[in-house]
Chain A
Protein backbone atom coordinates (compact mmCIF):
# COMPACT_ATOMS: atom_id res chain seq x y z
CA UNK A 1 0.00 0.00 0.00
CA UNK A 2 2.69 2.49 1.08
CA UNK A 3 6.18 2.39 -0.43
CA UNK A 4 8.66 5.02 0.66
CA UNK A 5 12.27 4.90 -0.56
CA UNK A 6 15.01 7.16 0.73
CA UNK A 7 12.57 10.05 1.10
CA UNK A 8 13.76 13.41 2.45
CA UNK A 9 11.79 16.58 3.00
CA UNK A 10 12.86 20.11 3.92
CA UNK A 11 10.45 22.84 5.10
CA UNK A 12 11.02 26.18 3.30
CA UNK A 13 14.16 27.92 4.49
CA UNK A 14 15.36 24.99 6.66
CA UNK A 15 18.79 23.39 6.24
CA UNK A 16 17.94 20.36 8.36
CA UNK A 17 15.56 17.90 6.69
CA UNK A 18 12.39 17.20 8.73
CA UNK A 19 12.37 13.73 7.15
CA UNK A 20 15.85 12.35 6.59
CA UNK A 21 16.09 9.26 4.41
CA UNK A 22 12.86 7.40 5.18
CA UNK A 23 12.53 3.80 3.95
CA UNK A 24 9.17 2.30 4.81
CA UNK A 25 6.70 -0.20 3.41
CA UNK A 26 3.24 -0.64 4.93
CA UNK A 27 0.94 -3.37 3.54
CA UNK A 28 -2.76 -2.81 2.91
CA UNK A 29 -4.96 -3.10 6.00
CA UNK A 30 -2.16 -2.68 8.52
CA UNK A 31 -2.79 -0.62 11.66
CA UNK A 32 0.51 1.16 12.13
CA UNK A 33 1.30 3.36 15.14
CA UNK A 34 3.92 6.11 14.98
CA UNK A 35 5.69 7.28 18.14
CA UNK A 36 8.65 9.53 18.85
CA UNK A 37 9.65 12.53 20.92
CA UNK A 38 8.19 15.94 20.11
CA UNK A 39 9.77 17.37 16.98
CA UNK A 40 10.96 14.01 15.61
CA UNK A 41 9.13 14.26 12.27
CA UNK A 42 5.88 12.38 13.04
CA UNK A 43 3.56 15.15 11.85
CA UNK A 44 5.75 15.74 8.80
CA UNK A 45 5.37 12.06 7.90
CA UNK A 46 1.58 12.59 8.06
CA UNK A 47 1.88 15.63 5.78
CA UNK A 48 4.13 13.76 3.33
CA UNK A 49 1.81 10.74 3.17
CA UNK A 50 -1.16 12.97 2.40
CA UNK A 51 0.71 15.27 0.00
CA UNK A 52 0.38 18.40 2.19
CA UNK A 53 4.18 18.35 2.18
CA UNK A 54 5.13 19.64 -0.36
CA UNK A 55 1.82 20.76 -1.95
CA UNK A 56 0.57 22.93 0.92
CA UNK A 57 3.72 23.61 2.93
CA UNK A 58 5.98 23.91 -0.16
CA UNK A 59 9.63 23.16 0.66
CA UNK A 60 11.78 20.63 -1.18
CA UNK A 61 11.93 16.84 -1.30
CA UNK A 62 13.76 13.92 -2.85
CA UNK A 63 13.25 10.16 -3.04
CA UNK A 64 10.10 8.14 -3.73
CA UNK A 65 6.75 8.11 -1.91
CA UNK A 66 3.97 5.96 -3.34
CA UNK A 67 0.52 5.24 -1.91
CA UNK A 68 -1.19 2.51 -3.91
CA UNK A 69 -0.31 3.32 -7.50
CA UNK A 70 -0.11 7.02 -6.80
CA UNK A 71 3.16 8.94 -6.79
CA UNK A 72 2.17 11.29 -3.93
CA UNK A 73 4.57 14.26 -4.29
CA UNK A 74 3.93 14.28 -8.06
CA UNK A 75 0.11 14.22 -7.68
CA UNK A 76 -2.14 17.17 -6.91
CA UNK A 77 -4.03 17.48 -3.59
CA UNK A 78 -7.24 17.16 -5.60
CA UNK A 79 -6.15 13.79 -7.00
CA UNK A 80 -5.15 12.58 -3.53
CA UNK A 81 -8.24 13.80 -1.64
CA UNK A 82 -10.48 10.81 -2.28
CA UNK A 83 -7.76 8.23 -1.63
CA UNK A 84 -5.85 9.53 1.37
CA UNK A 85 -7.48 11.13 4.41
CA UNK A 86 -5.57 13.20 6.96
CA UNK A 87 -6.96 14.06 10.41
CA UNK A 88 -4.95 17.05 11.63
CA UNK A 89 -3.45 17.40 15.09
CA UNK A 90 -5.39 20.61 15.74
CA UNK A 91 -8.95 19.88 14.70
CA UNK A 92 -9.80 23.58 14.74
CA UNK A 93 -7.51 24.05 11.69
CA UNK A 94 -9.36 21.37 9.82
CA UNK A 95 -12.89 22.75 10.07
CA UNK A 96 -13.72 24.30 6.71
CA UNK A 97 -15.38 27.48 7.99
CA UNK A 98 -17.53 27.25 4.87
CA UNK A 99 -20.45 25.39 6.48
CA UNK A 100 -22.87 26.22 9.30
CA UNK A 101 -23.67 22.85 10.89
CA UNK A 102 -21.86 19.67 11.80
CA UNK A 103 -23.98 17.75 9.26
CA UNK A 104 -23.00 20.18 6.46
CA UNK A 105 -19.37 20.10 7.57
CA UNK A 106 -19.25 16.32 7.17
CA UNK A 107 -20.95 16.60 3.76
CA UNK A 108 -18.47 19.27 2.60
CA UNK A 109 -15.63 16.90 1.66
CA UNK A 110 -18.07 14.51 -0.03
CA UNK A 111 -19.48 17.35 -2.17
CA UNK A 112 -15.93 18.20 -3.25
CA UNK A 113 -15.45 14.58 -4.32
CA UNK A 114 -18.44 15.09 -6.62
CA UNK A 115 -20.59 12.31 -5.13
CA UNK A 116 -24.34 12.07 -5.83
CA UNK A 117 -26.71 13.78 -3.36
CA UNK A 118 -28.24 10.46 -2.19
CA UNK A 119 -24.82 8.90 -1.57
CA UNK A 120 -23.69 11.99 0.36
CA UNK A 121 -26.75 11.88 2.61
CA UNK A 122 -26.33 8.16 3.23
CA UNK A 123 -22.67 8.52 4.19
CA UNK A 124 -23.30 11.56 6.40
CA UNK A 125 -26.01 9.75 8.40
CA UNK A 126 -23.84 6.65 8.68
CA UNK A 127 -20.86 8.64 9.94
CA UNK A 128 -22.91 10.71 12.40
CA UNK A 129 -24.10 7.46 13.97
CA UNK A 130 -20.66 5.82 13.91
CA UNK A 131 -18.91 8.72 15.71
CA UNK A 132 -21.88 9.40 18.01
CA UNK A 133 -22.48 12.91 16.68
CA UNK A 134 -26.21 12.69 15.98
CA UNK A 135 -27.11 14.93 18.92
CA UNK A 136 -24.74 17.63 17.63
CA UNK A 137 -25.68 17.41 13.92
CA UNK A 138 -27.41 20.81 13.77
CA UNK A 139 -24.89 22.70 15.96
CA UNK A 140 -22.24 25.00 14.51
CA UNK A 141 -18.83 23.28 14.40
CA UNK A 142 -17.35 26.39 15.99
CA UNK A 143 -19.68 26.32 19.02
CA UNK A 144 -18.43 22.90 20.13
CA UNK A 145 -15.97 21.91 22.85
CA UNK A 146 -12.45 20.83 21.84
CA UNK A 147 -13.30 17.15 22.20
CA UNK A 148 -16.49 17.51 20.15
CA UNK A 149 -14.65 19.38 17.39
CA UNK A 150 -12.12 16.61 17.29
CA UNK A 151 -14.88 14.05 16.73
CA UNK A 152 -16.25 16.20 13.86
CA UNK A 153 -12.77 16.34 12.26
CA UNK A 154 -12.47 12.54 12.46
CA UNK A 155 -16.01 12.07 11.11
CA UNK A 156 -15.51 14.34 8.09
CA UNK A 157 -12.46 12.31 7.02
CA UNK A 158 -14.03 8.88 7.72
CA UNK A 159 -17.06 9.82 5.61
CA UNK A 160 -14.78 10.09 2.57
CA UNK A 161 -13.80 6.41 3.06
CA UNK A 162 -10.15 6.85 2.09
CA UNK A 163 -8.06 3.74 1.43
CA UNK A 164 -5.30 5.25 3.55
CA UNK A 165 -6.23 6.97 6.79
CA UNK A 166 -3.53 9.15 8.39
CA UNK A 167 -4.28 10.54 11.85
CA UNK A 168 -2.11 12.93 13.87
CA UNK A 169 -3.04 12.57 17.55
CA UNK A 170 -6.75 12.42 16.78
CA UNK A 171 -7.83 11.63 20.35
CA UNK A 172 -5.76 14.19 22.27
CA UNK A 173 -8.82 16.02 23.60
CA UNK A 174 -11.16 13.06 23.96
CA UNK A 175 -12.08 11.51 27.28
CA UNK A 176 -10.87 7.93 27.79
CA UNK A 177 -14.19 6.41 26.69
CA UNK A 178 -14.16 8.52 23.50
CA UNK A 179 -10.56 7.49 22.88
CA UNK A 180 -11.47 3.83 23.24
CA UNK A 181 -14.34 4.26 20.76
CA UNK A 182 -12.08 5.85 18.14
CA UNK A 183 -9.52 3.05 18.50
CA UNK A 184 -12.25 0.43 18.10
CA UNK A 185 -13.48 2.11 14.90
CA UNK A 186 -9.95 2.28 13.46
CA UNK A 187 -9.40 -1.36 14.39
CA UNK A 188 -12.57 -2.37 12.54
CA UNK A 189 -11.66 -0.33 9.46
CA UNK A 190 -8.18 -1.85 9.34
CA UNK A 191 -9.21 -5.40 10.16
CA UNK A 192 -12.33 -6.03 8.14
CA UNK A 193 -12.42 -3.01 5.86
CA UNK A 194 -8.87 -3.27 4.55
CA UNK A 195 -8.21 0.42 5.27
CA UNK A 196 -4.56 1.14 5.97
CA UNK A 197 -4.20 3.18 9.17
CA UNK A 198 -1.18 5.31 10.11
CA UNK A 199 -1.69 6.83 13.54
CA UNK A 200 0.55 9.22 15.47
CA UNK A 201 -0.26 8.77 19.15
CA UNK A 202 1.28 9.49 22.56
CA UNK A 203 -1.22 7.22 24.35
CA UNK A 204 0.96 4.12 24.34
CA UNK A 205 -1.50 1.94 26.25
CA UNK A 206 -3.99 2.20 23.39
CA UNK A 207 -1.37 1.59 20.70
CA UNK A 208 -0.28 -1.50 22.61
CA UNK A 209 -3.82 -2.83 22.62
CA UNK A 210 -4.74 -2.09 18.99
CA UNK A 211 -1.79 -1.42 16.66
CA UNK A 212 -0.23 -4.21 14.58
CA UNK A 213 3.05 -2.42 14.26
CA UNK A 214 4.85 0.55 15.84
CA UNK A 215 7.41 2.78 14.13
CA UNK A 216 9.61 5.06 16.22
CA UNK A 217 10.94 8.36 14.90
CA UNK A 218 13.84 10.40 16.17
CA UNK A 219 15.38 13.43 14.45
CA UNK A 220 13.64 12.79 11.15
CA UNK A 221 14.62 9.12 10.92
CA UNK A 222 13.02 5.78 11.71
CA UNK A 223 15.01 4.32 14.60
CA UNK A 224 12.83 1.37 15.68
CA UNK A 225 10.27 -0.62 13.72
CA UNK A 226 8.49 -3.85 14.62
CA UNK A 227 5.42 -5.41 16.25
CA UNK A 228 3.68 -3.21 18.83
CA UNK A 229 4.54 -5.72 21.58
CA UNK A 230 8.24 -5.76 20.72
CA UNK A 231 8.76 -2.02 20.19
CA UNK A 232 6.71 -0.75 23.14
CA UNK A 233 8.65 -3.06 25.49
CA UNK A 234 12.00 -1.77 24.19
CA UNK A 235 13.79 0.22 26.88
CA UNK A 236 15.32 2.48 24.20
CA UNK A 237 11.94 4.26 24.19
CA UNK A 238 12.79 5.69 27.63
CA UNK A 239 16.03 7.26 26.39
CA UNK A 240 14.25 8.62 23.32
CA UNK A 241 11.74 10.46 25.54
CA UNK A 242 8.79 8.44 24.24
CA UNK A 243 8.26 6.71 27.57
CA UNK A 244 6.60 3.36 28.21
CA UNK A 245 3.29 2.22 29.62
CA UNK A 246 3.19 1.97 33.39
CA UNK A 247 2.59 -1.77 32.93
CA UNK A 248 6.01 -2.04 31.27
CA UNK A 249 7.71 0.29 33.77
CA UNK A 250 6.32 -1.59 36.78
CA UNK A 251 7.34 -4.95 35.27
CA UNK A 252 10.88 -3.74 34.57
CA UNK A 253 11.19 -2.40 38.14
CA UNK A 254 9.99 -5.68 39.67
CA UNK A 255 12.36 -7.66 37.44
CA UNK A 256 15.25 -5.55 38.75
CA UNK A 257 14.32 -6.64 42.29
CA UNK A 258 14.57 -10.24 41.08
CA UNK A 259 11.03 -11.29 42.02
CA UNK A 260 10.49 -12.29 38.42
CA UNK A 261 13.12 -13.83 36.11
CA UNK A 262 14.75 -11.58 33.50
CA UNK A 263 13.90 -14.05 30.76
CA UNK A 264 10.20 -13.21 30.96
CA UNK A 265 9.39 -10.64 28.23
CA UNK A 266 8.05 -7.29 29.47
CA UNK A 267 4.30 -6.71 29.09
CA UNK A 268 2.77 -3.75 27.21
CA UNK A 269 -0.96 -4.34 27.84
CA UNK A 270 -3.04 -4.96 30.97
CA UNK A 271 -3.64 -8.60 29.99
CA UNK A 272 0.03 -9.26 29.38
CA UNK A 273 0.91 -7.51 32.65
CA UNK A 274 -1.57 -9.65 34.58
CA UNK A 275 0.06 -12.81 33.19
CA UNK A 276 3.53 -11.41 33.83
CA UNK A 277 2.89 -10.79 37.53
CA UNK A 278 0.82 -13.87 38.35
Chain B
Protein backbone atom coordinates (compact mmCIF):
# COMPACT_ATOMS: atom_id res chain seq x y z
CA UNK B 1 0.00 0.00 0.00
CA UNK B 2 1.42 3.38 -1.00
CA UNK B 3 1.80 6.38 1.29
CA UNK B 4 2.22 10.08 0.69
CA UNK B 5 2.90 13.26 2.60
CA UNK B 6 2.11 16.42 0.64
CA UNK B 7 3.34 19.75 2.03
CA UNK B 8 2.91 18.59 5.63
CA UNK B 9 3.43 20.88 8.64
CA UNK B 10 3.06 20.09 12.35
CA UNK B 11 3.60 22.21 15.48
CA UNK B 12 3.20 20.88 19.04
CA UNK B 13 1.17 22.86 21.59
CA UNK B 14 4.50 23.73 23.29
CA UNK B 15 5.32 25.76 20.15
CA UNK B 16 7.92 23.29 18.90
CA UNK B 17 7.62 23.03 15.10
CA UNK B 18 8.29 19.34 14.47
CA UNK B 19 7.55 19.14 10.73
CA UNK B 20 8.32 22.01 8.43
CA UNK B 21 7.00 21.22 4.96
CA UNK B 22 7.40 17.50 4.27
CA UNK B 23 6.90 16.04 0.79
CA UNK B 24 7.45 12.32 0.62
CA UNK B 25 5.91 9.47 -1.27
CA UNK B 26 6.51 5.81 -0.61
CA UNK B 27 5.53 3.10 -3.07
CA UNK B 28 3.66 -0.06 -2.19
CA UNK B 29 6.01 -2.73 -0.77
CA UNK B 30 8.96 -0.41 -0.17
CA UNK B 31 11.22 -0.90 2.87
CA UNK B 32 12.28 2.58 3.98
CA UNK B 33 14.60 3.56 6.85
CA UNK B 34 14.04 6.97 8.43
CA UNK B 35 17.16 8.23 10.20
CA UNK B 36 18.24 11.45 11.89
CA UNK B 37 18.97 13.04 15.24
CA UNK B 38 16.76 13.01 18.35
CA UNK B 39 14.01 15.57 17.83
CA UNK B 40 14.32 15.64 14.02
CA UNK B 41 10.61 14.87 13.59
CA UNK B 42 10.81 11.18 12.66
CA UNK B 43 8.28 9.91 15.21
CA UNK B 44 5.97 12.89 14.61
CA UNK B 45 5.97 12.13 10.90
CA UNK B 46 4.88 8.52 11.25
CA UNK B 47 2.26 9.32 13.91
CA UNK B 48 0.39 11.23 11.19
CA UNK B 49 -0.12 7.96 9.32
CA UNK B 50 -2.69 6.60 11.74
CA UNK B 51 -4.17 9.84 12.97
CA UNK B 52 -2.45 9.81 16.39
CA UNK B 53 -1.49 13.32 15.31
CA UNK B 54 -3.19 15.45 12.65
CA UNK B 55 -1.21 17.81 10.42
CA UNK B 56 -1.59 21.61 10.74
CA UNK B 57 -1.20 21.88 7.01
CA UNK B 58 -0.89 19.58 4.02
CA UNK B 59 -2.20 16.12 3.31
CA UNK B 60 -1.30 12.62 4.46
CA UNK B 61 -2.58 9.77 2.29
CA UNK B 62 -2.59 6.04 3.12
CA UNK B 63 -3.46 3.93 0.07
CA UNK B 64 -6.45 5.77 -1.39
CA UNK B 65 -7.50 7.28 1.95
CA UNK B 66 -6.88 10.91 2.83
CA UNK B 67 -6.21 10.48 6.58
CA UNK B 68 -8.18 13.66 7.34
CA UNK B 69 -11.36 11.77 6.48
CA UNK B 70 -10.68 8.68 8.60
CA UNK B 71 -10.55 7.93 12.32
CA UNK B 72 -7.55 6.49 14.13
CA UNK B 73 -9.52 3.26 14.60
CA UNK B 74 -10.09 2.97 10.84
CA UNK B 75 -6.48 3.82 10.01
CA UNK B 76 -5.29 1.18 12.52
CA UNK B 77 -6.57 -1.45 10.07
CA UNK B 78 -4.09 -0.19 7.47
CA UNK B 79 -1.09 0.99 9.49
CA UNK B 80 0.38 -1.14 12.29
CA UNK B 81 2.63 0.53 14.85
CA UNK B 82 5.47 -0.65 17.04
CA UNK B 83 6.22 2.13 19.50
CA UNK B 84 9.65 2.98 20.82
CA UNK B 85 8.64 2.19 24.40
CA UNK B 86 6.62 -1.05 24.50
CA UNK B 87 5.17 -0.07 27.89
CA UNK B 88 3.10 2.56 26.06
CA UNK B 89 1.20 -0.09 24.18
CA UNK B 90 0.89 -3.01 26.62
CA UNK B 91 -1.98 -3.07 29.10
CA UNK B 92 -3.60 -6.51 29.12
CA UNK B 93 -3.10 -9.07 31.90
CA UNK B 94 -2.03 -11.99 29.71
CA UNK B 95 0.31 -12.15 26.74
CA UNK B 96 -2.28 -13.98 24.62
CA UNK B 97 -4.96 -11.33 25.34
CA UNK B 98 -2.51 -8.56 24.56
CA UNK B 99 -1.88 -9.97 21.09
CA UNK B 100 -5.61 -10.66 20.49
CA UNK B 101 -6.61 -7.09 21.41
CA UNK B 102 -5.75 -5.47 18.06
CA UNK B 103 -7.33 -8.10 15.79
CA UNK B 104 -10.45 -8.13 18.00
CA UNK B 105 -10.80 -4.34 17.64
CA UNK B 106 -10.50 -4.70 13.90
CA UNK B 107 -13.53 -7.03 13.99
CA UNK B 108 -11.77 -10.26 12.95
CA UNK B 109 -13.66 -13.52 13.56
CA UNK B 110 -12.74 -15.46 16.75
CA UNK B 111 -11.03 -18.12 14.62
CA UNK B 112 -8.98 -15.55 12.78
CA UNK B 113 -8.11 -13.79 16.06
CA UNK B 114 -6.86 -17.06 17.57
CA UNK B 115 -4.81 -18.06 14.54
CA UNK B 116 -3.34 -14.58 13.90
CA UNK B 117 -2.35 -14.07 17.52
CA UNK B 118 -0.83 -17.52 17.97
CA UNK B 119 1.18 -17.30 14.75
CA UNK B 120 2.40 -13.80 15.72
CA UNK B 121 3.57 -15.12 19.10
CA UNK B 122 5.36 -17.99 17.36
CA UNK B 123 7.02 -15.60 14.92
CA UNK B 124 8.56 -13.53 17.72
CA UNK B 125 9.41 -16.60 19.85
CA UNK B 126 6.99 -16.01 22.71
CA UNK B 127 4.53 -18.88 22.14
CA UNK B 128 5.58 -20.46 25.46
CA UNK B 129 4.63 -17.29 27.33
CA UNK B 130 1.01 -17.05 26.09
CA UNK B 131 -0.46 -17.29 29.61
CA UNK B 132 2.11 -15.04 31.34
CA UNK B 133 1.48 -11.49 32.51
CA UNK B 134 3.22 -9.04 30.11
CA UNK B 135 4.77 -7.29 33.12
CA UNK B 136 6.51 -10.48 34.21
CA UNK B 137 8.41 -10.48 30.91
CA UNK B 138 11.90 -8.98 30.63
CA UNK B 139 12.09 -5.62 28.80
CA UNK B 140 13.45 -7.20 25.60
CA UNK B 141 10.55 -9.71 25.65
CA UNK B 142 8.01 -6.91 26.12
CA UNK B 143 9.38 -5.35 22.95
CA UNK B 144 8.91 -8.65 21.09
CA UNK B 145 5.39 -8.93 22.54
CA UNK B 146 4.55 -5.43 21.28
CA UNK B 147 5.87 -6.51 17.87
CA UNK B 148 3.66 -9.63 17.96
CA UNK B 149 0.62 -7.49 18.83
CA UNK B 150 1.42 -5.33 15.80
CA UNK B 151 1.95 -8.30 13.47
CA UNK B 152 -1.32 -9.95 14.54
CA UNK B 153 -3.27 -7.03 13.05
CA UNK B 154 -2.07 -8.07 9.63
CA UNK B 155 -1.87 -4.51 8.26
CA UNK B 156 -0.49 -3.73 4.80
CA UNK B 157 1.72 -0.97 6.28
CA UNK B 158 4.05 -1.43 9.26
CA UNK B 159 5.78 1.36 11.16
CA UNK B 160 8.53 0.38 13.60
CA UNK B 161 10.08 2.96 15.92
CA UNK B 162 13.52 1.73 17.07
CA UNK B 163 12.70 -2.00 17.07
CA UNK B 164 16.29 -3.14 17.76
CA UNK B 165 16.77 -1.17 21.01
CA UNK B 166 17.69 -3.36 23.99
CA UNK B 167 18.03 -6.49 21.86
CA UNK B 168 21.17 -8.62 21.80
CA UNK B 169 22.64 -9.77 18.48
CA UNK B 170 20.34 -12.78 18.32
CA UNK B 171 17.26 -10.63 19.01
CA UNK B 172 18.29 -8.09 16.36
CA UNK B 173 18.70 -10.88 13.81
CA UNK B 174 15.30 -12.30 14.71
CA UNK B 175 13.61 -8.92 14.24
CA UNK B 176 15.56 -8.35 11.04
CA UNK B 177 14.45 -11.71 9.65
CA UNK B 178 10.80 -10.97 10.51
CA UNK B 179 10.99 -7.63 8.68
CA UNK B 180 12.68 -9.20 5.66
CA UNK B 181 9.95 -11.87 5.50
CA UNK B 182 7.18 -9.23 5.69
CA UNK B 183 8.93 -7.24 2.98
CA UNK B 184 9.02 -10.32 0.73
CA UNK B 185 5.28 -10.76 1.30
CA UNK B 186 4.69 -7.21 0.03
CA UNK B 187 4.22 -5.18 3.23
CA UNK B 188 5.18 -1.52 3.12
CA UNK B 189 7.69 -0.98 5.95
CA UNK B 190 8.86 2.22 7.62
CA UNK B 191 11.77 1.67 10.02
CA UNK B 192 12.88 4.48 12.33
CA UNK B 193 16.30 3.71 13.75
CA UNK B 194 19.57 5.19 14.97
CA UNK B 195 21.15 1.81 14.32
CA UNK B 196 22.52 2.38 10.82
CA UNK B 197 24.21 -1.01 10.77
CA UNK B 198 20.75 -2.55 11.22
CA UNK B 199 19.17 -0.27 8.57
CA UNK B 200 22.00 -1.06 6.14
CA UNK B 201 21.41 -4.76 6.56
CA UNK B 202 17.67 -4.72 5.89
CA UNK B 203 16.25 -1.51 4.32
CA UNK B 204 16.33 -0.50 0.63
CA UNK B 205 15.72 3.20 0.78
CA UNK B 206 16.79 5.80 3.34
CA UNK B 207 15.21 9.13 4.26
CA UNK B 208 17.41 11.45 6.33
CA UNK B 209 15.64 14.01 8.53
CA UNK B 210 16.85 17.08 10.46
CA UNK B 211 14.88 19.92 12.06
CA UNK B 212 11.55 18.88 10.58
CA UNK B 213 12.92 18.71 7.03
CA UNK B 214 13.98 15.92 4.73
CA UNK B 215 17.72 16.35 4.10
CA UNK B 216 18.11 13.50 1.66
CA UNK B 217 16.21 10.57 0.20
CA UNK B 218 17.51 7.71 -1.92
CA UNK B 219 18.88 4.17 -2.09
CA UNK B 220 20.52 3.06 1.15
CA UNK B 221 23.89 2.37 -0.53
CA UNK B 222 23.99 5.90 -1.94
CA UNK B 223 22.77 7.77 1.17
CA UNK B 224 24.81 5.81 3.74
CA UNK B 225 28.04 6.52 1.86
CA UNK B 226 27.72 10.29 2.41
CA UNK B 227 29.64 11.19 5.54
CA UNK B 228 28.97 14.92 5.61
CA UNK B 229 25.28 14.53 4.97
CA UNK B 230 24.84 11.95 7.75
CA UNK B 231 26.89 13.96 10.25
CA UNK B 232 24.56 16.91 9.67
CA UNK B 233 21.82 14.59 10.93
CA UNK B 234 23.89 13.42 13.98
CA UNK B 235 24.39 9.91 12.62
CA UNK B 236 27.49 8.13 11.31
CA UNK B 237 27.77 5.82 8.30
CA UNK B 238 27.58 2.07 9.02
CA UNK B 239 30.80 0.46 10.29
CA UNK B 240 31.65 -1.27 7.01
CA UNK B 241 31.15 1.91 4.99
CA UNK B 242 33.51 3.81 7.32
CA UNK B 243 36.04 0.99 7.07
CA UNK B 244 35.87 0.95 3.26
CA UNK B 245 36.32 4.75 3.25
CA UNK B 246 39.31 4.53 5.61
CA UNK B 247 40.89 1.98 3.27
CA UNK B 248 40.06 4.16 0.24
CA UNK B 249 38.16 1.32 -1.38
CA UNK B 250 35.99 2.48 -4.30
CA UNK B 251 32.75 0.91 -2.97
CA UNK B 252 30.52 1.35 0.08
CA UNK B 253 29.57 -2.19 1.18
CA UNK B 254 26.64 -2.53 3.59
CA UNK B 255 26.89 -6.20 4.57
CA UNK B 256 29.80 -8.40 5.64
CA UNK B 257 29.66 -10.60 2.51
CA UNK B 258 29.57 -7.51 0.27
CA UNK B 259 32.62 -6.16 2.08
CA UNK B 260 34.48 -9.45 1.71
CA UNK B 261 33.78 -9.57 -2.06
CA UNK B 262 34.71 -5.93 -2.57
CA UNK B 263 37.88 -6.38 -0.51
CA UNK B 264 38.88 -9.52 -2.43
CA UNK B 265 38.60 -7.73 -5.80
CA UNK B 266 40.34 -4.63 -4.52
CA UNK B 267 43.11 -6.75 -2.95
CA UNK B 268 43.74 -8.63 -6.24
CA UNK B 269 43.76 -5.44 -8.27
CA UNK B 270 46.23 -3.83 -5.86
CA UNK B 271 48.50 -6.89 -6.02
CA UNK B 272 48.57 -6.76 -9.84
CA UNK B 273 49.29 -3.03 -9.91
Contacts and interface: CB of A to CB of B under 8 A. Distances in A.
Contacts of A145: 38-39, 43
Interface stretch (A55-63, A221-229, A270-278): A270-278
A36 to B, nearest CB: 8
Interface stretch (A69-77, A186-194, A237-245): A237-245
A273 B38 contact: no
Given A39-B138, A175-B194, A270-B239, A148 B247 contact: no
A185 interface: no
A249 interface: yes
A250 B243 contact: yes
B213 to A, nearest CB: 16
B140 interface: yes
A145 B259 CA distance: 36
Contacts of B197: 246
Interface residues of A, number: 43
A122 interface: no
Interface residues of B, number: 43
Interface string A48-68: 000000000000000000000
B127 to A, nearest CB: 17
Nearest to A39: B138
Interface stretch (A1-9, A79-87, A97-105, A251-259): A251-259
B36 interface: yes
Interface stretch (A24-32, A156-164, A166-174): A166-174
A249 to B, nearest CB: 5
A89 B166 contact: yes
B59 to A, nearest CB: 25
Interface string A38-54: 11000000000000000
A177 interface: yes
Interface in A170-215: 172-179, 202, 205
Given A39-B138, A169-B166, A259 B36 contact: no
Interface stretch (B46-54, B149-157, B168-176): B168-176
A254 B19 CA distance: 45
A147 interface: yes
A242 B169 contact: yes
Contacts of B243: 246-247, 250, 270, 273-274, 277
B194 A202 contact: no
A249 B256 contact: yes
A254 B84 contact: no
Interface stretch (B113-121, B180-188, B230-238): B230-238
Given A147-B39, A174-B194, A274-B243, A38 B260 contact: no
Nearest to A93: B87
B268 to A, nearest CB: 9
Contacts of B138: 38-39
B240 interface: yes
Nearest to B257: A253
Contact of A241 (B85, B169, B264): B169
Contacts of B14: 139, 143
5 contacts: A145-B39, A172-B165, A175-B234, A202-B168, A246-B197
Can you list the 8 inter-chain pairs with the closest CB atoms, starting with the nearest? A243-B169, A147-B38, A241-B170, A177-B234, A246-B239, A38-B140, A175-B234, A175-B37
